[in-house]
Amino acid sequence: MKHSRRVSSLLILSCITALALAAGPPAGDVGPTYAIRNCRIVPVAGPAVEKGTIIIRDGLIEALGPVDKVRVPDDAEVVEAEGLIAYPGLVSAFSNLFLEQPARPEGQTAPFEVEAQVQPAAGEDRFPPGPGLLVLDQLKPKKAALESFHKAGFTTVLVAPTRGIFQGQSVLLNLNGEPLGPMVLRNGAALHINFTTERGGYPSSLMGTIAHIRQSFIDAEYYAARQAQYAKGPAGLKRPEYDPRLEALVPFVRDRKPVVFQCNNLEDIKRALKIVGEFKLNALLAGANEAWRVADVLKKTPIPLLVSLDFRPPATSMYMTQGEELRKKAEAEIYPANAAALAKEGIAFALVSAANADGGAILRNVRTAIKAGLPKDVALRALTIQPARYLGLDRELGSLEPGKIANVVLVKGEIFDDNAQVAKAFVDGVLFKYAEVSK
């Protein structure tokens, strides 16, 4: 057997070489390769596959297609998914996940209300709101919160700051585990502005706030112009004074980095559009639960909408101040039909989880919106490809396509059905198993 010994030594040599090569991978676990088999696939980007296979390697979708068309690689761990449906992991383009929220007293309306939340006392604030605040610095990821979102099908979120007028800059996270660093898709994703007032200072009125926002953008433009002028030829010019606040604003007003306006009612939508038009901002509107009331305006001036799944009407709405009957109807029927009305008008939007930290409640709200007339496929797009598009992530997320990031949820039942359960979730190719929870 001289021949076989030579083969064996070659084999051993190649194994050692392979091992040696394999032993020097780049930092970070490569992670297992997965082959999800025999499930129904809803890619969103194309027609559904009745019985298919998805191959995940190196955190990406390597292949997907009908069972007989996709070959399972040798190194793949097979995930048997018969009876399950594979969806793209849901994207919430506006959340407050991992932020420690002070408890809101009973009966207060949605956080999108102009009411200031409980604020820390002046001087005690480690994170004073302002355009330079990076919300990433405030995040405290918790396993329970992560799992709650996974179980609702969410794998990607934007986390927005919560306090002040110029609230700060959000961060995009891929919910792939507990350590914060690896989750970050993009820091400083967008500047967030809320139509609220300052506690105990200027501005203390909404009209003051609007003037303040405008003056801030005017000053930022002026600041950028002075810096540019100085840079071009400083001789003879007084040196422009450094201003951290204006410095932080410049990218949004000069370089068209995205700005998100929180719109608590229909008037806020119009107010935001005016400011956006005046300063030619690259903007999105969040909240917008009265968007249906200004559908004609939105058709004339289309703008990305991050529509909150929180249906509580603003307290000042005329639907809330004309007797019990109308108020009940507003809360039970009219406001939950916001998304359905927009869909009917052909107005594009994403659905967002907003301040809700309870995955189950979020899905309940989606189902409510569907019951109120929102088509299921529109709801799914509004939670996948549409927010990905708005966030500039649509080349890598938002649908199940080869080459995209492996964010997949395997659901028992259709994702928006009453009894749907997320059996497994893949985020960046990392597998999370969820025990079947009986109702």
Partner 1 sequence: MRKPALPCLLGLCLLTAAALPAFADRGDLLIKNGTILTVTKGVIAKGDVLVIGGIIKQIGENIAAPAGVRVVDAAGRFVLPGIIDSHTHIALAGTNEGSEAITPEADVGTVINADDTSILTALSGGVTMVHTMHGSANPIGGPNVVLKTKWGRPSEELVVREALPTLKFALGENVKQSGRTVQPGQTQRYPATRMGANAIIRREFQKARNYMEQWDRYNKAAAAKNPPKNLVPPRQDLRLEVLAELLRGNMVARCHSYQATETLEFMELAKEFGFKIACFEHIWEGYKIADELAAAKIGISVFADSWAYKMEAAEGIAYDAGYCAKRGVLVSINSDSGERIRRLFNDAAKTMKYGGLSEEEALKLITINPAIQLGVDRIVGSLEVGKQGDIAIFNEHPMSAYTRCDMTIIEGDVYFDRDLVLKEREEAAKKAAAPRGEGGVS
Partner 2 sequence: MTRRALLIALLIVVLAAFASAQAKTPGVIAIINARIIPVVGGEIPKGTILIKDGLIAAIGADIDVPPGAEVVDATGLRAYPGMIDGYSSLGLVEVSGVAATVDNRETGRINPQARALEAIRYDSMHIPIARSNGITAAVVAPAGGLVSGVSCLLRLDGWTNRAMSVKAAAAMHIELPGIRGGRGGFGGGRGAPQVRADGPALLAELKELFKSARAYEKRRDAAAKNRLLALPEYNETYECLLPLLKGEMPAMISVHSERDIRAAIVFVRDENLKAVFFGVEQGFKAADELSKAGIPVVLGSLYDLPPVWEDGYDALFRNPGLLAKAGVKIAFSSSSASAAKDLPYHAAKAAAFGLDKTEALKAVTINTAEIFGVDKTMGSLEKGKAANIVLADNDILEHRTNIRKVYIDGREADLSSRYTELLEKFKKR
Q: Cα angle vertex 57, ends 56, 58, to 5°? A: 130
Is residue 201 at the binding interface for partner 1, with CB under 8 A as the rule? yes
**315 is in the binding site of which of partner 1, partner 2, none (Cβ under 5 to 8 A by kind)?**
partner 2
Q: Scanning the structure block, which residue is given the tokens 């497994």?
A: 424
Is residue 323 at the binding interface for partner 1, with CB under 8 A as the rule? yes
**Chain CA centroid to CA 421, Å:** 21
Q: Output 301 or 316, the one with its CB closest to partner 2.
A: 316
Out of 169, 194, 317, 353, which residue is the one contacting partner 1 (CB under 8 A)? 317
Contacts of residue 212, defined as CB under 8 A and 6 or more positions apart, other chains included, come to 165, 202, 203
Out of 25, 26, 236, 323, which residue is the one contacting partner 2 (CB under 8 A)? 323
Long-range contacts of range 411-418, CB-CB < 8 Å, 24 or more positions apart?
411/84, 411/85, 411/86, 411/87, 411/153, 412/83, 412/84, 412/436, 413/85, 414/85, 414/376, 415/85, 415/87, 415/153, 415/380, 416/363, 416/366, 416/367, 416/370, 416/376, 416/379, 416/380, 418/367
**319 is in the binding site of which of partner 1, partner 2, none (Cβ under 5 to 8 A by kind)?**
partner 1
For 346, left (φ over 0), alpha (ψ -120 to 50), or beta?
Answer: left
Q: Output 142 or 270, the one with its CB closest to partner 1.
A: 270
Is residue 205 at the binding interface for partner 2, with CB under 8 A as the rule? no
H or E, element range at 352: strand 350-352
What's the chain's Rg over C-alpha atoms? 25
Q: Output 43 or 313, the one with its CB closest to partner 2.
A: 313
Out of 184, 295, 315, 361, which residue is the one contacting partner 2 (CB under 8 A)? 315
The first and second tokens of residue 213, run together, are: 């926002």
Tell me which DSSP letter residue 421 carries: E
Binding segment for partner 1 (CB under 8 A), chosen from 82-90, 198-206, 255-263, 414-422, is: 198-206
x-or-dash pattern for partner 1, window 7-36, by CB under 8 A?
A: ------------------------------
The first and second tokens of residue 73, run together, are: 């690689």
x-or-dash pattern for partner 2, window 79-108, by CB under 8 A?
A: ----------------------------x-
Residues that bind partner 2 (CB under 8 A): 107, 315-316, 320-324, 327
Residues that bind partner 1 (CB under 8 A): 114, 198, 200-208, 210-211, 214-215, 218-219, 222, 226, 229, 233, 235-238, 265, 267, 270-271, 292-296, 316-319, 321-326, 329-330, 333-334, 337, 341, 345
